[in-house]
A = this chain, B = another copy of it.
């Protein structure tokens, strides 16, 4: 479905956005091992006259963009991982925990909130056999390469087929990015805790992906239920719309009514890992009174969500009683909802957090389903003023302690980070996280690099996200233009996702990620050769690129014209550049032999004369066709 003016597009019969992303095809690439595993990617065909090969790009959109797929949200997605999970022989079927009214935030037994239960919801779900550990980390540490790891390796190798054409380049700040990703490399990274593959055994619909400093930088989009969710498809489409534009994972931050049923609909239809903050639902179950929270209610909520298939849980176990008062002298106190809930509980009971004290018991639950930890930064700064303060770092070091405790049980962990941080304080966050948390993947919100631009915080934070991604952050949690002001609509979500996708890619380029530049080069070459359609199709948002172009030059002919609206048909620097190239080509020597650039500034007149004479000679050979057209494209 085209996305131009998405607000006004009519819903498809199945109620979610489907159809190929403009100018590309879904493909499924077999892994090298011959295991029969096929990895979903997107391929962009370029103008046949260009002689350029198709460009393969990473694809998070799942079957929704596959022209050959049939989408039925009442049935959910195919369970591509079902056999992989069962064939490991370490899971058992158990009867799913009975859904209670309070799971949907209702006092009575009715489900009058407008959200029907997912049809044929599983009565039987999976759990590790007694004593077993089904986490990817556990397999990795025992030397087992899982199909999930194999899938990830092929997926991450994107573009590396052309690696020989590239000289590796970049500053990775100590990362260890290989030329080629092997399944063994993935296993080793997961075993060391430097990467996670969120893959709950009850979410077999998910396409495996890795979050780690030595892989492509990932992004997360947040969604939440509407106050009155009368249309289930609309709730599911928030997820579908996010992954269409590039969200690698989606967090369901729903609160209030119907969150259990809404979550079931989302997970059954999601090809990407789903994250949640279980304390939100637990709080609903005690009527919103933080001090009434108990370990039993919380643990029951973890099992409820683990059985549905949530892939990672944000757990704010680092908000310890002694740290709470450190927030007192802050400009903006505690800005994390989960953090403030736990702070309130700790003060109410003058007790240490039960999340901290029961951490090993939580880990026991996580490993029975392979739910990954996303250790929450409940004390992250909410303003430039509060950045990098002692409350923030006290919590970070506790998260490091908890990381090691989770790893002791082979449970996967990533660490959440800020927030609001001025540029000169960003690197310290990355360095302290790597040191405190043993290189566990860092997952940051922005950070926002200034507080003065509400309405543009996708940009104030995109600046910080690109930098911290370059420094080593593995996943960037998006921020929309509505941050601090209101609830994002469909267009805000798209702008947030695309902004973070470009920030993540800028980070991959700067880290020297192999072949990350393939797409930049393909687009630049298309730009230079006036292949407008290829330019649009290679961009992160082909619909908007074409829409902007057509606002100035609507005619179809303009898409093949050898000029653009900035300079018009008369002037074009691309044209003279091509002439310069022909000029150089006609010589029997490479252009740089005219003169070495390093020598340029040292030129003395006589040498200049010599250079000119040489040029003059060469000119006479090349003739006058060199001298047609002129002009330029960008500013001056």
B612 and A325 within 8 A (CB): no
Asked if residues A452 and B502 are in contact (CB atoms below 8 Å), the reply is yes
Q: Judging by beta carbons under 8 Å apart, are A339 and B632 in contact?
A: yes
Collect the chain B residues with CB atoms within 8 Å of residue A453's CB. Answer: 498, 501-502, 505, 539-541
Of the residues B486, B487, B509, B565, contact of A422 by C-beta under 8 Å? B509
Interface hits, A281-331 → B, CB 8 Å? 283, 288, 290-291, 314, 316, 320-331
Interface assignment of A234: CB less than 8 Å from any CB of chain B: no
Minimum CB–CB distance for A45 against chain B, Å: 17
Contact B608 A463 (CB under 8 A): no
CB distance from A618 to the nearest CB of B (A): 9
Contact B545 A454 (CB under 8 A): yes
The 0/1 profile, CB within 8 Å of B marked 1, for residues 478-507 of chain A is: 000111111101000000001101110111
Query: In the assembly, what is the distance between CA of A41 and CA of B291, in Å?
Result: 50
- Report Cα–Cα, A612/B536, bound state, in Å: 61
B592 lies within 8 A of A326 (CB): yes
Contact flags (1/0) for A132-172 with B, using CB distance below 8 Å? Answer: 00000000000000000000000000000000000001110
Contacts of A571 in B (CB 8 A): 255, 288, 337
A524 touches B385 (CB 8 A): yes
A348-B627, A398-B600, A549-B485 are known contacts. Are A636 and B459 too (CB-CB below 8 A)? no
- Count this chain's copies in the assembly: 2
Among A353-402, those with CB < 8 Å from B are: 376, 382-385, 390-391, 393-394, 397-398, 400-401
Q: Does A17 contact B (CB under 8 A)?
A: no
Residues in B whose Cβ lies below 8 Å from that of A567: 337
A580 touches B325 (CB 8 A): yes
Interface hits, A453-468 → B, CB 8 Å:
453-456, 458-460, 462-463, 466-467
**Are the CB atoms of B630 and A326 closer together than 8 Å?**
no
Smallest CB-CB separation from A517: which chain B residue?
B384
Tell me whether A509 and B450 are in contact in the complex, defined as CB-CB below 8 angstroms, given that A321-B611, A384-B524, A633-B337 are known contacts.
yes
Partner of A574, one of B332, B548, B580: B332
Whether A334 contacts B632 by the Cβ 8 Å rule is yes
- Are B484 and A630 within 8 A (Cβ)? no
Contact A636 B277 (CB under 8 A): yes
The digit string for A436-479, where 1 denotes a CB below 8 A from any CB of B, is 10000000010001111111101110110011001000000100
Q: Does A350 interact with chain B (Cβ within 8 Å)?
A: yes
A70 at the interface (CB under 8 A from B): no
